[in-house]
Structure formats: C-alpha cells, structure tokens
Amino acid sequence: MWATVATTPGDPGRVVTIADLTAAEHGVRLSDSGPGGGPDGRHGLAVAADLAQAGRFHLPIHHSFPHDQGAAACRLASAGGIRGKTALTLDWRPDS
C-alpha cells in the first residue's frame, strides 16, 4: 500500500491528475478524456504506464528535492517560470 501526498501552491482548479481518484475532494480535476475514457479517469493511468513502458512517455523534471525539502520545492514551483515538474523524492521501499 502506498500513498502520494502533494501540496500545490495556487489554484487547485489548475491541476489535472490521472492518478489520484480522490482529486475532487481537493478541488483538483481528474482526467477523464481520451479514447474509451470513463468518468473516473482510471484509463489515463493505464495509458501512461503503457506509453512509459514503450519508452514513449516522458515527463520533464525541472528539479527534484528530497522529501524533507518540501518547502523549498513549493517556493520554486510558486515562483513560476520553470519548464517541467518540481518533484519530491522519497526513500521508500515496499515490504517484500
């Protein structure tokens, strides 16, 4: 079991996710577009995974921060003018 927690500066209405099925609870839009799209957007995650496995899905990362530097990541993202995502890295390993 794993969870993703992200804080987005600014308007959550400008955020779109293909992975967080609880997005609406946070004012974020869950993608439900695309071929065969259903109202919950689950197809988007499967499509992204297939494209990534085929080497055809690329997500540009502007800068990554260790998870304990979340405030610095927020400041960078809030400043604007960057191209790519600001990411937090986690030192997490699933139970075997």
Which domain does 79 fall in, by range? 60-96
Residue 35 has pLDDT above 60, yes or no: no
Q: Are residues 68 and 35 in the same domain?
A: no
Task: Give Cα 41 distance to the centre of its chain.
Answer: 14
The residue type of 36 is G
Q: Are residues 8 and 29 in the same domain?
A: yes
| pTM passes above 0.85 | no
Q: Are residues 52 and 90 in the same domain?
A: no
* Phi/psi of residue 17, nearest 5 degrees: -125, 150
Q: Are residues 54 and 9 in the same domain?
A: yes
Domain count, the chain: 2
pLDDT score of 36? 52
pLDDT one-digit tens code per residue, 50-94: 888 999 988 888 999 998 998 998 888 888 888 888 888 887 776
The residue type of 73 is A
Cβ neighbours, 10 Å, residue 85: 12
The residue type of 28 is V
Residue with tokens 């997500």: 59
Q: Are residues 26 and 9 in the same domain?
A: yes
pLDDT score of 24? 82
